[in-house]
Amino acid sequence: MTCLTRIGGTVLAVALAAPLNAAEPGGPLSAAEFEAATVGRTLYYNSGGEPYGVEQYLPGRQVVWAFLGDDCRKGEWYEDQGFICFVYEDNPEPQCWTFWQSDDGLLAKFRGDPFGLPLIAVEESPEPMACMGPNLGV
């Protein structure tokens, strides 16, 4: 017990990280593994048990993303130092993630936010996304 008191916040941080790490079997996906797991698919993501967004993965590392109920955004992804990074037509700032295969589905954690809620792909479809607005039929 005195060890817990002496370590204080460090023990708390380890305790908080443990459940998320338990959902991350094995190592993060490489770019080749991520591409093999996603190309030709449309994945629907949840965060904290709530619907979050949908992304269609096209050949050539091209993607179409939409937050649920929002317009579609075309983009592309690339690997950077072990992260899978996305840039979109409306935001050139890279959005970098680490991806794992988990028992619950493809799991993604945002770079620089180790205690943030992960995204979990809860549904998969070979069908293209239904986009609103100017990207109809993408």
Cβ count near 21 (within 10 Å): 11
Q: What is the pLDDT of residue 110?
A: 95
Residue 92: alpha-carbon gap to chain centroid: 18
Residues 6+ apart with CB under 8 A from 47: 117, 118, 119, 120
Of 12-26, 32-46, 58-72, 117-131, where does mean pLDDT reach its minimum?
A: 12-26
130: pLDDT confidence band, cut at 50, 70 and 90? confident
133: pLDDT confidence band, cut at 50, 70 and 90? low
Asked if pLDDT for residue 12 goes beyond 80, the answer is no
Domain ranges of the chain: 2-127
Average pLDDT on 42-61 reads 96
Q: Of the candidates 98, 63, 65, which has an alpha carbon nearest to the alpha carbon of residue 79?
A: 98
Give the span between the Cα atoms of 109 and 99, in whole angstroms: 7
Residues 60-78 pLDDT 10s: 999 999 998 889 999 999 9
Give the span between the Cα atoms of 9 and 7, in whole angstroms: 6
Q: Of the candidates 57, 37, 55, which has an alpha carbon nearest to the alpha carbon of residue 101?
A: 37
Q: What is the pLDDT of residue 106?
A: 95
Q: Of the candidates 88, 89, 68, 86, which has an alpha carbon nearest to the alpha carbon of residue 78?
A: 86
CATH class of 2-127: alpha beta
Average pLDDT of every residue of the chain: 81
